[in-house]
Structure 1
Amino acid sequence: MTITVAPATPSLTSIPVGARANGNPQVNNGGPASAHVISDKPLGNPRPLRVICIGAGVTGLNLAYMLPRHLKNVEYVMYEKNTGIGGTWLENRYPGVACDIPAHIYQFTWAPKPDWSEFYASGGEILAYLQDVAKTFELEKYVHLQHRVNHASWDEEEGVWNLTIQNESAGETVKDYCHFLINGTGFLKYVTRRLLDLGFDSIDLDSDWKFPDILDLHSFNGPLMHSANWDDSVELKGQRVGVIGNGSSGIQLVTAIQPLAKELTTFIRNPTWISTVYAQEFAGKDGGNFTYTPEQKREFQNNLPKYLEYRKAIETEMNGKFEITFKDSEFQKGAREFLATMMRKRLGENHPLSSHLIPDFAVGCRRLTPGVGYLEALTAQNTRVVRDLIDRIVPEGVRLKTGEVVELDVLVCATGFDVSWAPRFPVIGRNGINLQKEWRHSRAAAYMALAVPEFPNYFLYLGPGGPHSHGSAIPTVEHETKYILRLIHKAQTEKYKAVAPSLSATQEFLGHMKEFNQRSVWSDNCSSWLKKGKGDTSPLCHPGSRIHWFHMLQEPRWEDWEWTPVSKANRFDYLGNGYSTWEEPGKDISWYLDDADSGLQSIRY
């Protein structure tokens, strides 16, 4: 590769007086005299930007809070397809829906809630929290509800994303643009695959949730529901209810439905660890849930330092468990023995379900769930656990491969998510590359789970390769936001039109992740959404602890990014008129005398 040295810039003193624009001298820079015009703006001047975030859940709200506090001259908009704020907690309303992370650490650091009702909060309480946060901090003004983004394409010349949006309340299509596009729609997306009466061939239909690939599914005569599309009008009490799936949603559903149903049949394909690992020291008996007393809530509200100490103690315990993710570690061996013993105890000694439910893969290969009350629900008198393979659905219920027909009144599918990380809509980057198409048909790949080569000014939250099995997602989102804001700030104040990670940096990051994860539990032989459900695929999970992730994102590796300046004449155009925004009227212009260490705060070991 040949590197050409640019011609030296002529001395400003040699420029003729006539070669000026707006009273500023023009620098030749080896080209025409008019190639570079000195700006009349100071160093640090924030050029106007428009930022759009898709989704008004946790990520969109966090960005709405942080962006105006740290960036100037930025217009921020959120487009949300639903009728309200809340994201996944608005969409998931099935009985028993709850967070598997302790409530006091599943909240924004800037909006603590001392009065959570329970250790593991219900989905309804989390939704109320998010909507209250939006109102309290006046974040609703940024949100356009019932606006579904249908298409996004990058304009290289203008340095903007052009969006096509469906205003579903007005029934019209609108256009918008932004300099930076943030995808905050989440990574667990529902996609329907409805099997029509065409044998075992399938047709993909465009909707938001995923039915299982079971023959004649829609021939069932009774109510058929998916956990992500719950119908509150369906009566469960006194009914014969079937639940397909034993992931997190299935576990919560079975626990909630068992006391109501006349008969409950749960169809289980895979074993799974029921865990008390998450903040076990602070949870209830056997890792169970518990309700905070009025006295406890008052104490937290009246003594915020003590409340912070409590939150930090829970977070610290969870962060200290990373050793469990190494397949051959003593911690992993101990966890397997402990959880297997606990599960046998809760199921009952020598219960036949033990051999079917207790996995032979590592603890953590699939995302752990506390499963409060789940094992007890499985052993209840009105519950039947079916492990035989399903042949097809018939009007009366479920036909098994054995030929038996399990008769049901209600059938519920809790069969998981589309985890391709593919956007819900076409995202067209440089050279016409469609990210939706690429990630639907091949392995998703992102730089530090945040950005993709050839997709400038496009960032995604909780992307492939993030810390998806490391604890609460909210601190992860907050750190991603800080990282994204640093990139936007640099582009804004140093006059860069576009920024994208380099292909080589992305490839090397992915190579490191793949090599590292060979030793992790996520690569063990289990079916997991971290591997798109396939047991033999390298997991898309961060190669390190949560603290490792936070450390990695503390400062961007600028050398891994490719920057396109606004000015084609001179990359130092942003230096401007010789002044700095740091010396604007009213600002302390001798701050460096206050603290000899000022500016070194980011250096940390």
Structure 2
Amino acid sequence: MVTIGGGISAMNMAYTITHDKKMDDVVESCIYEAHETLGGTWFVNRYPGVACDVPAHIYTFPFEPNPNWSAFYAGGKEIHDYFMAAVKKYNLDRDVKTGHRVVHAEFDEKEGIWNLKVQHKDTVFDDWCNVLVSATGFLSHWKWPEIKGLHDFKGLKVHSAAWDEEYDYKGKKIAMIGNGSSAIQIMPELAKNAEQVTNFIRNPTWITPGLGSAVIGGQINKVYSEEEKRSFREQPKVLNRHRKEIQHGSNKAFAMFEKDSPAQKAAFKATSKMMLDRLGGNKDLAAKLTPDWEVGCRRATPGPGYLEAFTQPHVSLVSNPISHVTPTGIVTEDGTHHTFDVIVCATGFDVTHKPPFPLIGLNNTNLASYWADEPLSYLSVMCPHFPNLFFFSGPNAPVGHGSLMAALSWTASYIAQWLNKIATEDIKYVSPSPEATEEFNAYGDEIMERLVWSGGCRSWYKNNRVDGRVTAIWQGSAISYKEVVEGIRPEDMRIVYRTRNRWRWMGDGRTRIEGQEGADLAWYLEK
């Protein structure tokens, strides 16, 4: 098995393999990570203010609760430090090769293997695997916005996902393009020392209370005392109770994502008022920054300090569309030229789910072409015509349902079930049928019509279209995802065996345990 990527998804998979002896006996694993350091998004994103808007105590590996989180919502560096400590503690990097990038993958139907080309520095070499796992994440390929003249700008041009940490932003005139999660975290930090900050937005967005903030009385954040952390360390039941309280509240809050529900109506009213209050009662600003579509239709972000920044004289908002960029600034469609020293593009990622390299399945089908119009997956984990290929956070995954960590562990367990079946039952390859996939997506679309993600916003959940099909979010609650992927459904699959008789995996009719000296051959009589 080869896993592409070395972030939290891959490490969940690594733990599943290395800490189950049966799995470790049947699976030979290799993990290719393009960067020299593991950590995925928490290694790459180093912009000022980077943090997780999910409570830290449910943003942990299921096998490694952390009693020492400094605050209810943790910063990016603390999360990466936790991640690396867990990797070291559990030897999760045992099979990792850093600085290695998969640049081509093609399935050989006759042999039932994936042939890979892997780049390491200036060398490209061949490798192969029976099973390929994509653990690159759904926000891993950043891109510049398509704005005329952007690359003619003579000042500093920087993307939030490729932050220039050496540049001195103090006293500069800064343009912030975008109002997604990254922009909302960056802007108040830059505003502390900049001469001027101007936020260019296309559409308003909801700034909400933080996920699970009811547990801390609605505070923006909470710093844990040394006494609380000591209690978590010395009394695991206390820590578990705290974590369960947060997770229970997160799952219960799913009612807010149902259109026209009492919870959605209450959230709309309360969040509108909260935004106005945080803007100092400025109704003109509130009208430009507060949406009229459902709360949660676009990813909602807490954004401590973002709204408050607009109450400062050196911070302004521009909602007039950008026409083009000049060597010295930005021109909006009303003809106004805005002069800047820095342009920050917090404009997001390629959210099409198309891989950045050729990935070729059966009948020479290229995944980028197959998903050109819209990505259709089977349970977010597999795709027709691409045998023995599994995804973490593929199309329609539970990426907006609270803590992603739990869902990643459920996905790892699902993949492990197939790995075990493929390895022990002489299976050459398995892929979901087009019929099962189409029916899953059709039924999911019916469910989605009742949820706010299909509402009236422009969102990356819908490939940045107002009327687009929701392709990023699971069609239901996080708990429903868990229930659906708890078991595998061979009836949805095309399974091809290596031999004519699918029962040859029975071998000589005897089991491994019978060959082990001193083994208990009546274990099944125990209670």
Q: Pick the TM interval, shorter chain.
A: over 0.9
Asked if 1:554 corresponds to 2:504, the answer is no
Structure 2 residue aligned with 1:384: 316
Q: Does 1:269 align with 2:222?
A: no
Task: Specify the alignment match of 1:444 in structure 2.
Answer: 375
Structure 1 partner of 2:287: 355
Please, which of 14, 23, 30 is the counterpart of residue 64 of structure 1?
Answer: 14
Aligned to 1:423: 355
Shift of 1:405: 1.5
Q: Closer, same or farther in 2 for the Cα pair 1:587/1:337, shift >3 Å?
A: farther
Please give the alpha-carbon distance, in whole angstroms, between the structure 2 residues aligned to 1:543 and 1:375. 31
Alignment partner for residue 340 of structure 1, among 268, 272, 290? Answer: 272
1:122 matched to which residue of 2? 75
Answer yes or no: is the 8 Å Cα contact 1:287–1:372 preserved in 2.
no
Q: Distance in 1 between matches of 2:108 and 2:400?
A: 36
Cα separation, 2, equivalents of 1:214 and 1:97: 25
Indicate yes or no: 2:85 matched with 1:132.
yes
How far does residue 464 in structure 1 lie from its aligned partner after superposition? 0.5
Output the CA distance in 1 between the equivalents of 2:484 and 2:519: 32
Out of 235, 238, 248, the residue aligned to residue 316 of structure 1 is 248
Shift of 1:584: 4.5
Q: Deviations over 1:274-295 (max 9, x none)?
A: 11151021246x4412222222
Identity %: 41
Matched, 1:236 2:169: yes
Cα distance in 1, alignment partners of residues 226 and 270 from structure 2: 33
Decide whether the 8 Å contact of 1:182 with 1:460 is kept in 2: yes
Listed as ranges, the matches of 1:75-224 within 5 Å are: 75-168=28-121, 171-190=122-141, 209-224=142-157
Matching residue of 1:194 = none
- For 2:513 and 2:409, locate their aligned partners in 1 and report how far apart those are by CA, in whole Å: 27
Gaps of 5+ in 2: none
Structure 1 residue 261, shift from structure 2 partner:
1.0
In structure 2, C-alpha distance between the alignment counterparts of 1:87 and 1:312, rounded to whole Å = 26
RMSD between superposed Cα atoms in Å: 1.3
Amino acid at match of 1:252: Q
| 1:374-413 equivalence runs, <5 A | 374-413=306-345
Alpha-carbon separation, structure 2, partners of 1:281 and 1:331:
14
Q: Secondary structure at the match of 1:243?
A: strand
Output aligned runs, 1:401-550, within 5 Å: 401-439=333-371, 441-540=372-471, 541-550=473-482
Shift of 1:225: 0.3
> Residues of 1 paired with 2:431 and 2:42: CA distance?
31
Alignment correspondent of 2:183 = 250
Contact 2:26 2:420 in 1 (8 A): no
Q: What is the SS of the residue equivalent to 2:117?
A: strand
- For the residues of structure 2 that align with 1:110 and 1:69, how far apart are their CA atoms? 10
Deviations 1:503-544 (A, max 9, x none): 111010010011111111011111111100001012122221
What's the offset of the Cα at 1:73?
Answer: 2.9
What is the rounded CA distance, in whole Å, between the counterparts of 1:468 and 1:97 in structure 2?
18
User: May I ask how many residue pairs the two structures share in their alignment?
Assistant: 522
Distance 1:537 1:287 in 2: 35
Give the AA of the match of 1:143: V
1:370 aligns with 2:320: no
What letter matches 1:53 in structure 2? T
Match of 1:23 in 2: none
Provide the C-alpha distance between the structure 2 equivalents of 1:394 and 1:234, rounded to a whole number of angstroms: 21
Letter paired with 1:102: P
Q: How far is the alpha carbon of 1:545 from its aligned partner? A: 0.7
* Counterpart residue number, 1:46: none
- Please tell me whether the aligned partners of residues 135 and 392 of structure 2 are also in contact (alpha carbons under 8 angstroms): yes
**Structure 1 runs of 4+ with >6 Å offset:** none
TM-score, scaled relative to structure 2: 0.97
1:101 deviation in Å? 0.6
Equivalent of 2:3, from 39, 45, 53? 53
In the aligned structure 2, how far is the partner of 1:430 from the partner of 1:264? Answer: 51
Unaligned runs of 5+ in 1: 1-50, 191-208, 596-605
User: 2:94 is paired with a residue of what secondary structure?
Assistant: helix
Cα displacement (A) at 1:350: 4.1
Q: How many Å separate the matches in 2 of 1:379 and 1:143?
A: 48
Q: Residue 206 of structure 2 aligns to a residue in which SS?
A: coil
Greater shift after overlay, 345-354 or 89-98?
345-354
Does the 8 Å CA contact 1:79/1:143 hold for their aligned counterparts? yes
Residue 572 of structure 1: SS of its match in structure 2? helix
Letter in 2 for 1:145: T
**What amino acid maps onto 2:231 in structure 1?**
E
Q: Give the conservation status (yes or no) of the 8 Å contact 2:45–2:161.
A: yes
Compute the displacement of 1:361 (Å): 0.6
Q: Is the 8 A contact 1:118 1:289 kept in 2?
A: yes
Match of 2:28, SS state, is strand
Asked if the contact 2:41/2:140 (under 8 Å) is kept, the reply is no
**Structure with the higher helix share, 1 or 2:** 2
Matching residue of 1:327: 259
For residues 583 and 312 of structure 1, do their structure 2 counterparts lie closer, same or farther at Cα, with a shift above 3 Å needed?
A: farther
Tell me the residue number matched to 1:34.
Answer: none
Contact 1:470/1:546 (8 A) holds in 2: yes
Find 1:279's aligned residue among 200, 206, 212: 212
Q: Which amino acid aligns with 1:111?
A: E
Higher-Rg structure is 1
Cα gap change, 1:536 to 1:287, in 2 (>3 Å): farther
Helix, strand or coil at the partner of 2:197? strand
State the match for 1:575 in structure 2. 506
Q: Secondary structure at the match of 2:295?
A: coil
* 1:594 Cα deviation after fit: 2.4
> Shift of residue 349 of structure 1?
2.0
Q: Secondary structure at the match of 2:162?
A: coil
* Preserved CA contact (<8 Å) 2:158 2:164: yes
Q: Is the 8 A contact 1:388 1:402 kept in 2?
A: yes
